[in-house]
Structure 1
Amino acid sequence: MADLPADTSALMSAVLESILYGFSVLMFIGTIWALTYKRRMRDINHPIAVVAVLLLLTSTANMVVTIVRIENGLVKYRDTWPNGPAAFFTDVTEETYLIKHALYIFQTVLADGVMVYRCYVLWQSVRVIILPILLWCSIIVTGIRAVYGNSQATTNPGNVFAADVEKWIMAFIVSTLAANLLCSGLLVYRVWKIECRVSKLRASKSTIMPIVRVLVDAAVLYSVMLFAFLICFITASSGESVLSDMAVPVISITFYMVLIRITINSRHYLATASTRRTTEEMEQGNVQQYPMNPLRVHISQFTLDDSTSSSSYKVGNEDRPFGSTGIAEES
């Protein structure tokens, strides 16, 4: 993509972003369903729900800015912008360019912050997340500095690979790539260790390993995109603009796919554990037994009438034919 015109790459990135955005909206609907299905309002994980909504709002805002940017570059300023649409889409000081990258920074900071929080919840140790926190802080600093550097680019505003800005952008990409790989590795390792311990105590099929697979899938998807993004900056390829636009919905998709799988798997695990616990209690005699009252039948007289070839019994003072549904009476 090194020789791809800027206006062509902008149109291509808009199409790809819109496809991924539509898929992320479907994933968001699935996430909300997983969080709220058969749950009362107070039982919903409100912080995670808020993060999911923020990711959707950020993706939507980025999609809107992309549409406005395409309309400005190809229609509104097509004949008035110096050097035409190609120059418009390469200008790093242009307002829509800065807004889009600011939204990308915010999306990355939000998603990576959730990953660090997941590591803390799973490990319950501050020492484990010291390095992820440092990387997360590096993401914030380098991201803000990159956007600020683009806004102040006066000498060469048409070159995103200018030395004073490129180093901050590359530092941002490396920081988020390292944070993603480290947090994903910590999560996968912790879940795998828990599974190894639990598997020795049960004979049923594993309900945790699917979480490991989806964590690995999400990490691979995001890491491949970031690695390609980094290669584009190293080789000064115009493909970086395409990948930066695709990054926002991809971040939302990876977050939603992990959350949906964990939520569904947790419900299955809790239901299975509850059923197994009840069965074990019944086998051990820990379930409260409700004694049944004994059934007593008072048969005071039994006669056989040869003439009618019928049998009857007397319960108290009442004669009933043999085989009647009232043969047993609870007292």
Structure 2
Amino acid sequence: MASRGMPLDTAAIFSTVMEGILYGFSVLMFMGTMWALTRKRRMKEINRTNTAVAFMLLILSTAHMIVDIIRIEEGLVTYRDTFTGGPAAFFADVTQITFVVKNIIYTMQTMLGDGMVIYRCYIVWQSVWVIIVPSCLWLGITVCGICAVYSVSKATNEAGNIFAKATGQWITAFYAMTLASNLLASGFLAYRIWKMERNISAVRTSNNSMMPIVRVLADAAILYSVTLLSALLCFVEGNNGQYVVLDMIMPIISIAFYMVIIRMAMKTTSYSHISAAGMGSNETAREIPQQYHMKRMPVEVHISQITHQDETSKSTY
């Protein structure tokens, strides 16, 4: 399949610029995430899972940004006059080490980001059955990602065509399964939180609501899904715009992860399983509205137990 759209050297410049802008924004959000995870907490209270994943996302995004800068320098400066076909041919050559490395990093970033969404979904639902399909898709993503990178690194006859069947089939499957996994896991997660919100709304005495969490989960899922869908459509159509979207996805994965943690850190009400969705906190909380407590009326809510804290209390995430 012949590529269409902007020349590859132009696409390389534009994609690196767009990635750099989003990367800078993701670094700011990383700082906000670290503040949200550590403020007013002792060392043993800091969620290590969230912190580790946040750092890993930052490291992978930074590595991808560095590789792209090196790739731009090589294509437009170092091999500008010596590579057969010029810069456009250089950026089309999928066997270049920089191209292979950046795709390895992208695969790892996708596996990490999608894996965390599935993990949140499991923590909130407390059921393996809910995550069976997303987990199978995640395994498929892993296989397709590895096969795509391998086929790219071994390309010979069609090394200048990323849309060739040998590589294209794996990349198309990778995009499609990533999109499906993200939509399923995010949908299940948002539905569970919305369902719990409905169950507790009748007995809650405060104005605190978990709907902002549902909205930010939806926003993060939409942001990531729209970008993935754009990449998939560009790739299927053989448009070089997929290079631009692909580089933009790297920081977007980090941004989608950070925005959920930061929004949850802004809540002053802690729900045991929902706070665990913010990455694995297992503390049990209790909220018994005063009028129900005085009447000794049992209040059953679908989440384990709910805690109402005053404004000076510290929430867990």
TM range (shorter): 0.7 to 0.9
Alignment check: 8 A CA contact 1:34 1:263 kept: yes
CA distance in 2, matches of 1:52, 1:202: 33
Q: CA deviation at 1:207?
A: 2.2
Q: List aligned pairs for 1:66-77, cutoff 5 A.
A: 66-77=68-79
Q: 1:193 — aligned with what? A: 195
Paired amino acid for 1:253: I
- Do residues 261 (structure 1) and 263 (structure 2) align? yes
Paired AA for residue 27 in structure 1: M
Unaligned regions of 5+ residues in structure 2, if any?
Answer: 272-284, 297-317
2:243 corresponds to which residue? Answer: 241
Structure 2: distance between partners of 1:275 and 1:161:
55
Which one is further off, 195-204 or 49-58? 195-204
Cα distance between partner residues in 2 of 1:66 and 1:105: 15
1:1-331 aligned within 5 A: 2-265=4-267, 268-270=268-270, 280=290, 284=294
Aligned to 1:304: none
Deviation at 1:138, TM superposition (A): 0.5
**Matched position secondary structure for 2:157:** coil
Q: In 2, are the aligned partners of 1:108 and 1:251 still within 8 Å (CA)?
A: yes
Q: Determine what percentage of the aligned residue pairs are the same residue.
A: 52
Cα 1:129–1:275 change in 2 (3 A) is closer
Q: Which amino acid aligns with 2:226?
A: V
Contact persistence 2:208–2:269 (CA under 8 A):
no
Q: Deviations over 1:278-322 (max 9, x none)?
A: x939x9599xxxxxxxxxxxxxxxxxxxxxxxxxxxxxxxxxxxx
Deviation of the 1:8 alpha carbon: 0.4
Amino acid in structure 1 at the alignment position of 2:269: Y
Q: Note if contact 1:35-1:44 (Cα within 8 Å) is conserved in structure 2.
A: yes
| Bigger relative contact order (CA 8 A; separation at least 6) | 2
CA distance in 2, matches of 1:225, 1:47: 26
In the alignment of these two chains, the number of paired residues is 280
Displacement of 1:204: 2.8
Q: Which residue of 1 aligns with 2:308?
A: none
Which residue is 2:315 aligned to?
A: none
TM-score w.r.t. length of structure 2: 0.85
Q: Give the AA of the match of 1:75.
A: V
Deviation digits for residues 139-182 of structure 1 (CA, Å, limit 9, x no counterpart)? 10000100100001001100000011101000000110000000
The one-letter code matched in structure 1 to 2:290 is E
Supply the distance in 2 between the matched residues of 1:122 and 1:3 (Cα, whole angstroms).
Answer: 43
Question: 8 Å contact 1:9–1:241 — kept in the other structure?
Answer: yes
Structure 1: 5+ residue runs without aligned partners?
287-331
Please identify the structure whose Cα radius of gyration is greater: 1
Please give the per-residue CA displacement for 1:21-46, whole angstroms capped at 9, x wherever unaligned: 00000000000000000000100110
Q: Is the 8 A contact 2:5 2:241 kept in 1?
A: no
Check conservation: 1:199, 1:206, Cα contact below 8 A.
no
Following TM superposition, the consecutive aligned residue runs of length 4 or more in structure 1 with deviations greater than 4 angstroms are 274-277, 283-286
Aligned partners of 1:46 and 1:93: how far apart in 2?
Answer: 38
- Residue 234 (structure 1) shift: 1.2
Task: Tell me how far apart the structure 1 counterparts of residues 287 and 120 of structure 2 sit (CA, whole Å).
Answer: 28
**Do the aligned partners of 1:191 and 1:212 also contact (CA within 8 Å) in 2?**
yes
Other structure's SS at 2:238 match: coil
The offset of 1:97, in angstroms, is 0.5
Q: Contact 2:104 / 2:149 at 8 angstroms: preserved in 1?
A: yes
